[in-house]
Structure 1
Amino acid sequence: MKYILTGSIGNISKPLAQQLVAAGHDVTIISSNADRQSDIENLGATAAIGSVLDAEFLAHVFTGADAVYLMVPPNFTVTDWPAYQREVADAFLRAVKTSGINNIVQLSSIGAHVGHSAGPIDEVGNLERKLEAIGGLNVVALRPSYFYTNLYTTTDMIKHAGIIGSNMGDSSAEIILTHPADIADVAAKVLLDLDFKGQNVKYISSDIRTFAEVAAVIGNAIGKPDLPWVNFTDEQALEGAKQAGLHETFAEGFTQMGKSFREGLLQTDYLERNEKPQGKVKLEDFAKEFALAFQAN
């Protein structure tokens, strides 16, 4: 099989590529950074260096492949994050139509079913719906829950204020969590099986814990057993994001996403489908990774 992966060699695409290569398949990884070419080739994959905003480049790479993994890569240099997401999505859609590729695994998100008021999740949900509108495609939209790795952004807060928190909910609220390695495992299985037809949604989660448990487990791992979880107001969250250096559209988007988590909007479809965590990486496992990064920071 020939697979095309977007996302360069990030936290999901790299382990995904490793699994596909280990299974004996032809893997091409798209990256905008030419410096990544040797790292990609060292994985046993082919590097396609170019921009995900270039539909002609993407169509050329997609042509002749058995399946493509699509994700909108983060780009914190842009000033209008939603507009950038839409531009990438439009390039993907044009490339899909031009190339004739018909097996697609898309990295979407929990909350994609809503279509509004979910910050950066809104546009990946829109990409889901636009892919569904193209006739003849076989698509699996992967909907992971809140990434453990987002908790790395609380490092400075913990070190300087002695607290951990967000505007996503109070200490008793539950958050559904996912590790990138578990996402890669599911994506690899879907791509290797390649037995999906039509439009499909697949939720991915690793654990479900209260925010109080998140604070306790992280706190114990870093030697701060009394670390409290603080539920910020939306105004505090927005101001904190701006002070951290995020452009306004990023700060507003993440604040809006947190508000929608707090109000129960984003996790409803997962819960109504009676989904359960299937990932291997539990909160205690991630806390060890967090502790190493915390000590190194």
Structure 2
Amino acid sequence: MFVITGVTGQVGGIVAARLLEEGVPFRAVARNAKKAAEWKDKGAELALAEMTDADALTKAFAGADGVFLLIPPTFDPTPGFAEVRAVIAAPKTALLSSRPAKVVCLSTIGAQAKEPNLLSQLGLVEQKLSALPMPIAFLRAGWFMENTAWDIAPARETCVLSSFLQPLDQPYPMVSVFDVGAKAAELLQHDWVGKQVIELMGPEGVTPNEIAAVLSSILGRPVRAEPVARDTWEQIFTDQGMQNPLPRMRMIDGFNEGWIRFEGEPVKGTTTLDTAMGRLISPGR
């Protein structure tokens, strides 16, 4: 029996779907019974738990052959990342109490970066969980291809892809959530000793110009990529409601400047940008 957290989200849902396809029993952990009802209807066990509730998580993890752990980052954190520091404690306590056979924890490219940025939150997760007594695998995923979903409506209206990633012809390490979920499901069913780090990207790097080209093909109209000037970022993010935009800005800087990168040689998934974006929108719309 495996345990899947974040089952109502993109990656957790794909992990669950893969296990379901393979006939592997699992327990879905969710905060909201209504949102997770589909998994119960499909035959999964359901455990209700907040990620800050150590007792509920301990019960959810009990007897597990493996736990897929997704600790959600805060997209507008306070300085020092107090939010994620508070959240880490409960899953760590629950894992120590329940002692599952193994843990697969979703992490990120650049978790090892020394420069503070938005992804530092998952670096903290790795630091706090690395010493757990059971085997643990940190799955460091690249930039999600599915993040381009935010660009579809503006591109349809303006024929412009406004890109914070720049230069526009520079390839960035991206990956589909489908490859991430599939790799996590695979890892749960393998055995290893101690800690391991698996880095994952798509078949090849992706440039903003290539994203614009795929949008052009899918939308049936020309779309061009344009860089968003660095000196406008803070105002843009503040106007969007962010209180502390610096970590997000530094994250993007890290990709653009190359210090957010994989530490070793990444495993390559099979989902292409065309396929990932094709799932987000129907042609001609």
Q: TM-score, normalised by structure 2?
A: 0.90
Aligned 8 A contact 1:4 1:27 in 2: yes
Once the two structures are superposed, the pairs formed by residues 30-49 of structure 1 within 5 Å of their partners are 30-49=29-48
What is the aligned partner in structure 1 of residue 176 from structure 2? 179
Q: Whole-Å Cα distance in 1 between the matches of residues 66 and 47 of structure 2?
A: 16
C-alpha RMSD over aligned residues: 2.3
1:241–1:215 distance in 2 versus 1, CA, 3 Å: same
- Amino acid corresponding to residue 279 of structure 1 in structure 2: G
Aligned 8 A contact 1:19 1:188 in 2: yes
What is the aligned partner in structure 1 of residue 91 from structure 2? 92
1:230–1:156 distance in 2 versus 1, CA, 3 Å: same
Partner deviation per Cα, 1:62-106 (whole Å, 9 max, x = no partner): 122111111123667x87493332222121111112222341100
Structure 1 position 107, deviation (Å):
0.2
Partner deviation per Cα, 1:94-129 (whole Å, 9 max, x = no partner): 11122223411000001111143331x111111112
What is the aligned partner in structure 1 of residue 58 from structure 2? 59
Partner deviation per Cα, 1:255-297 (whole Å, 9 max, x = no partner): 221111111011252xxx3435x222101212322433993xx
2:194 is equivalent to residue 198 of structure 1: yes
Amino-acid identity (%): 23
What is the aligned partner in structure 1 of residue 266 from structure 2? 275
Aligned 8 A contact 1:111 1:118 in 2: no
Segments of 4+ in structure 1 off by > 6 A? Answer: none
- Amino acid corresponding to residue 253 of structure 1 in structure 2: P
User: Which 10-residue stretch deviates more, 179-188 or 78-87?
Assistant: 78-87
Q: Whole-Å Cα distance in 2 between the matches of residues 102 and 124 of structure 1?
A: 22
* Matched residue SS, 1:174: coil
Structure 1 position 160, deviation (Å):
4.4
Aligned 8 A contact 1:138 1:197 in 2: yes
Structure 1 position 156, deviation (Å):
4.1
Aligned 8 A contact 1:115 1:125 in 2: no
Partner deviation per Cα, 1:3-57 (whole Å, 9 max, x = no partner): 1111022212122112223333331111111212421212321111121111111
- Amino acid corresponding to residue 58 of structure 1 in structure 2: L
Q: 1:217 aligns with which of 214, 217, 223?
A: 214
Aligned 8 A contact 1:166 1:258 in 2: no
- Amino acid corresponding to residue 72 of structure 2 in structure 1: P
Partner deviation per Cα, 1:226-277 (whole Å, 9 max, x = no partner): x22222233423333333x34324x4433221111111011252xxx3435x
What is the aligned partner in structure 2 of residue 259 from structure 1? 253
What is the aligned partner in structure 2 of residue 289 from structure 1? 279
2:239 is equivalent to residue 240 of structure 1: no
Q: 2:120 aligns with which of 122, 126, 146?
A: 122
User: Which 10-residue stretch deviates more, 153-162 or 122-131?
Assistant: 153-162
- Amino acid corresponding to residue 237 of structure 1 in structure 2: W
* Matched residue SS, 2:123: helix
Q: Whole-Å Cα distance in 2 between the matches of residues 127 and 153 of structure 1?
A: 27
Q: Whole-Å Cα distance in 1 between the matches of residues 49 and 73 of structure 2?
A: 15
* Matched residue SS, 1:248: coil
Q: Whole-Å Cα distance in 2 between the matches of residues 156 and 71 of structure 1?
A: 29
Structure 1 position 142, deviation (Å):
0.3
Aligned 8 A contact 1:168 1:260 in 2: no
Structure 1 position 152, deviation (Å):
1.4
Q: Whole-Å Cα distance in 2 between the matches of residues 167 and 294 of structure 1?
A: 26
Partner deviation per Cα, 1:110-154 (whole Å, 9 max, x = no partner): 1111143331x11111111221123x2211100110001111122
Higher helix share: 1
- Amino acid corresponding to residue 84 of structure 1 in structure 2: E
Q: Whole-Å Cα distance in 1 between the matches of residues 105 and 120 of structure 2?
A: 14
Can you give the 5+ residue segments of structure 2 that lack an aligned partner in the other structure? none
Can you give the 5+ residue segments of structure 1 that lack an aligned partner in the other structure? none
Partner deviation per Cα, 1:162-218 (whole Å, 9 max, x = no partner): 32133221112111111111111111111112x121110111111312221221122
Q: Whole-Å Cα distance in 2 between the matches of residues 216 and 39 of structure 1?
A: 36
Q: TM-score, normalised by structure 1?
A: 0.86
